């Protein structure tokens, strides 16, 4: 995080420093602080610092859209104040009102006491800068595929699929909240996008997100087991972030992940039960020039041992190395 701007008039001439606020009402969260201590916290930065201290002391895990306690605290502070995360720096040294203070402290307290992902507490997560609704019916989106659509499926020569405008059909298998289907629909504006999940609960959340992004005309949701609800349909591009956690990983999931649906993680003994089925069945659902983009987490070595003849192309992102592979239809 870059240093915060000094308090004072913003470029529009508005004064960012609030007047002295009334002491916060003593609510559930505030009462966790020693008497009067809540009043010592005044600016957004004060609350971020306080939240980070609480998060570190509680040994929370950060794996749901943020990867460190500072980003997590800034996200929660912004949500309590109805600010977009990008606005944090503008207001970092602004003071909060008593009501806002109570909201922030309540969120910090609930994050520590419930160990739920921050996204569930505020029913929102940002992915590639876009907001998505989430609750306990779906895993909190954090797939690397969103970034890869931008970095490897653009208009340049390095694109894995040619001009995005020429992509007419996309399938998002294991869609969860619908986040990847929505990002794909925006990335490939001329494509019809189908999205499948086995969980009715997840599809209810996906339907809400599709509607909130105004994409009902472009995205069709299907309930079922992988390709089964699709008949013999074929696609230019299949994307999938399936369950891929192995038995050891399932036993070690942090409390935050245990708040998420088990079906979103559980990939069987070696983590690859679903991935191997996707690989086996994808060819029958791909157009001749199409391809499959699939996330497998840390399953690369196990997958290469399981399918040694397949020329999987491993892709990196800013925060991941070889956790997603690409394979063209002709190589399947
Ligand atoms: C890791 S989550 C990914 C969700 C979303 N694509 C994302 O990236 O946030 C995996 C999803 O696969 C779904 N799922 C599990 N088994 C499935 C199956 N056999 N067929 C279709 N969907 C399945 C789960 O319900 C869950 O929503």
pLDDT, tens digit, 9 for 90 and up, residues 74-86: 999 999 999 999 9
From the CB of 243, is ligand 1 less than 6 Å away?
yes
Nearest residue (by CA) to ligand 1, atom 12, is 174
**Residue 66: pLDDT band by 50, 70, 90 thresholds?**
confident
**Residue 94: pLDDT band by 50, 70, 90 thresholds?**
very high
Q: Which of 69, 93, 122 is the last residue of a domain?
A: 122
Nearest residue (by CA) to ligand 1, atom 7, is 141
**Residue 10: pLDDT band by 50, 70, 90 thresholds?**
very low
Identify whether 13 is part of a domain: no
CA of 197 to the centre of ligand 1 (A): 6
What pLDDT, in 10s, does the model give residues 263-285?
Answer: 999 999 999 999 999 999 999 99
CA of 77 to the centre of ligand 1 (A): 30
Identify whether 136 is part of a domain: yes
The ligand 1 atom at the shortest distance from the C-alpha of residue 240 is: 6
From the CB of 195, is ligand 1 less than 6 Å away?
no
Sign of CA dihedral 147, 151, 153, 155: positive
pLDDT of res. 34? 64
Instruction: State the average pLDDT over residues 225-245.
Output: 98
The fraction of the chain above a pLDDT of 90, given in percent, is: 84
Same domain assignment for residues 56 and 92: yes
pLDDT surpasses 70 at 13: no
CA of 159 to the centre of ligand 1 (A): 26
Nearest residue (by CA) to ligand 1, atom 19, is 225
From the CB of 134, is ligand 1 less than 6 Å away?
no
User: Of 330, 318, 256, 268, which is closest to residue 296 (Cα–Cα)?
Assistant: 268
- Under DSSP, is residue 79 helix (H, G, I), strand (E, B) or coil? helix
CA of 122 to the centre of ligand 1 (A): 22
Task: Give the CATH number of the domain where residue 229 resides.
Answer: 3.40.50.150
Same domain assignment for residues 234 and 308: yes
From the CB of 66, is ligand 1 less than 6 Å away?
no
Contact 162, 188 (CB under 8 A): no
Same domain assignment for residues 75 and 220: no
Q: Which of 122, 150, 174 is the last residue of a domain?
A: 122
What pLDDT, in 10s, does the model give residues 125-148?
Answer: 999 999 999 999 999 999 999 999
Same domain assignment for residues 221 and 116: no
Identify whether 14 is part of a domain: no
CA neighbours within 13 Å on the CB side: how many for 238?
A: 33
CA of 242 to the centre of ligand 1 (A): 5
Contact 88, 58 (CB under 8 A): no
**Residue 248 buriedness (CB in 10 A; 0-12 / 13-18 / 19+):** exposed
Identify whether 19 is part of a domain: no
pLDDT of res. 33? 65
Q: Which two tokens stand for residue 267?
A: 């990939």
From the CB of 146, is ligand 1 less than 6 Å away?
no
**Segments forming the whole domain that contains residue 246:** 127-331
From the CB of 96, is ligand 1 less than 6 Å away?
no
Task: Give the CATH number of the domain where residue 75 resides.
Answer: 1.10.8.10
- In the 8-state DSSP scheme, what is residue 61? -
Q: Which of 52, 87, 122 is the last residue of a domain?
A: 122
From the CB of 180, is ligand 1 less than 6 Å away?
yes
What pLDDT, in 10s, does the model give residues 152-203?
Answer: 998 887 789 889 999 999 999 999 999 999 999 999 999 999 999 999 999 9
pLDDT of res. 158? 77
From the CB of 240, is ligand 1 less than 6 Å away?
no
pLDDT surpasses 60 at 29: no
Nearest residue (by CA) to ligand 1, atom 4, is 176
Provide the phi-psi class of 272: left if phi over 0, else alpha when psi is between -120 and 50, else beta. Answer: alpha
From the CB of 43, is ligand 1 less than 6 Å away?
no
What pLDDT, in 10s, does the model give residues 288-312?
Answer: 999 999 999 999 999 999 999 999 9
Nearest residue (by CA) to ligand 1, atom 14, is 174
CA of 250 to the centre of ligand 1 (A): 15
Same domain assignment for residues 166 and 275: yes
pLDDT of res. 311? 97
Identify whether 134 is part of a domain: yes
From the CB of 177, is ligand 1 less than 6 Å away?
yes
């Amino acid at each position: 995080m870059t240093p915060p701007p000094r308090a004072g008039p913003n470029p529009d001439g508005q004064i960012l420093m609030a007047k002295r606020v009334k002491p916060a009402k003593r609510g559930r969260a505030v009462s966790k602080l020693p008497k009067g201590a809540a009043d010592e916290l005044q600016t957004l930065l004060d609350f971020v610092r306080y939240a980070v201290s609480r998060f570190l002391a509680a040994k929370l895990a950060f794996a749901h859209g943020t990867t460190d306690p500072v980003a997590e605290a800034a996200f929660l502070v912004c949500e309590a104040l109805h600010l977009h995360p990008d606005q944090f720096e503008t207001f970092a040294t602004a003071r909060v009102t008593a009501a806002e203070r109570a909201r922030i402290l309540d969120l910090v307290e609930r994050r520590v006491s419930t160990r739920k992902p921050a996204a569930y507490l505020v029913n929102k997560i940002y992915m590639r800068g876009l907001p998505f609704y989430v609750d306990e019916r779906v895993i909190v989106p954090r797939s690397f595929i969103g970034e890869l659509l931008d970095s490897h499926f653009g208009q340049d020569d390095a694109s894995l699929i040619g001009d995005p405008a020429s992509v007419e059909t996309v399938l998002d298998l294991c869609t969860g909240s619908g986040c990847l289907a929505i990002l794909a629909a925006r990335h490939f504006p001329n494509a019809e996008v189908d999205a499948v999940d086995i969980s009715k609960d997840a599809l209810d959340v996906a339907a809400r997100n599709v509607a909130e992004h105004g994409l009902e005309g472009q995205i069709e949701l299907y309930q079922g087991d992988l390709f089964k609800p699709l008949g013999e349909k074929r696609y230019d591009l299949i994307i999938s972030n399936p369950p891929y956690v192995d038995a050891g990983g399932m036993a070690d999931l942090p409390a935050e992940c245990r708040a998420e649906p088990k079906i979103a993680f559980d990939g069987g003994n070696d983590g690859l039960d679903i991935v191997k089925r996707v690989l086996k069945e994808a060819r029958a659902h791909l157009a001749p020039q199409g391809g499959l983009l699939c996330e497998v987490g840390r399953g690369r070595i196990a997958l290469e041992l399981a399918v040694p003849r397949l020329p999987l192309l491993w892709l990196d992102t800013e925060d991941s190395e070889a956790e997603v592979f690409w394979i063209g239809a002709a190589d399947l």
